Chain A
């Protein structure tokens, strides 16, 4: 049994607990002993991306403290994993002890599909999901963590799942955290392009590795009255 600490992320905890539950099931199916450090809250990405580095440091310190001893930290979110991996070492570069810890925690932090495929070498979780599915590669997973084949490979192994290509897949959905509030109309325009592409793919379900993008996409699908559902990758992989 591989010991794994789950960083469930704040959005999953409060908005999409079923994604957290699915993540636990998937990790257990892959042979992991999952722990959930209950002191965790948020990685600070929202503050950091918006320029509030002091606030991000406050939450980052907490995160480092909570996960200091975790053997591996797995999150159902490419953007939160990317925050820890890419930006924590930068955020704490002027604090020697924390800088060392930040680099160490960063090196142990993974997005779910990344951990399954690259670390555990698992590509088939024995899942079954009878639906036509298209995959939206979230920007931070795709370009931050370099996740290209990992999520697709996992989806291809799912029984009865028909994977269809998303046109212009690498295009951002327009969420961008505060961007979606600050530049609300622009974010809506970017979303609209993404939704057109999702509908053009012919999929019944759109999936991704980040609930933040999915929240945005699903809000748009709902507003459009579309029948396409938005599900996190873990929810599909947990299907049996």
Chain B
């Protein structure tokens, strides 16, 4: 057992720290720091800065821009990026469809999409959830029916995050209604400018426009846009969701947000032992979570994932939410001023505390709700 990083890994961390704090535009990082909603242009600019330096998709196969890093280095890369307030590369592109295309896509799809996906020249949306298929994803009903070489798609997707920016959407569709529900699903890539495809915004309690419904009415999709085998979509979905869970505990970002809150309200925290105790407990739990992530990272060099990895999503989102809740409490009455503009006498971080808190209620729901995580732990780890 040994706590120290090797000299090489420490140098690597320095290199990452230096890059993220100097090469990503400061106005973008300041916007993240203040909890502002980023524009599409800011997200694209940030990812392109990373991609130009080979830092957008280090976990991809090397032929598509991956770096062949150890899991520890990927962890350090991610931690330093979050610590520097650099927006993470768009997950739909880099964690979801990119690895899926590399693994399951035809040569034609790889040739067409891998590079633009890494560089965010194509903005991907995710079309999995439906009104009656959330955590029970296999119950989805959107259909794709053969018409010559093409597919005709009908149905509705929901919770399509940032779908208003999407150029393309990767969807799970039912291609065979006559078999066990998991066995009749396929994955199709659909151009969002296709006739019959309509994106409708869903207003959320934080006042922002983050998610959408996507409607398909006789949308024609070329057969070449099928990923993998017909009716083989469930395997791909499991592969994709497995990737999603790994990166979903934002330890460094939560730590950073707690440190910001502690610093911004230092006087109140110093004067109120109950507030100080909440800060101290959260710092301690975050330390335990970070150490757990490091255990998982160190272990996964061997291949099989560490069983404790299922703890990361569950506890990671709980702590993310708890820190956002603390930020609202620290902001106090100023937290009501969510609609005020820059003419307000109240600081921006206080005004945005509550929308952030309300928005983050989603964290324990997406990526497999925390109840699904408990089910995974009790079934697969505890054998219950």
Determine if chain A interacts with chain B. Answer: no
Taking Cβ atoms with an 8 Å cutoff, the residues of B that contact A are: none
Taking Cβ atoms with an 8 Å cutoff, the residues of A that contact B are: none
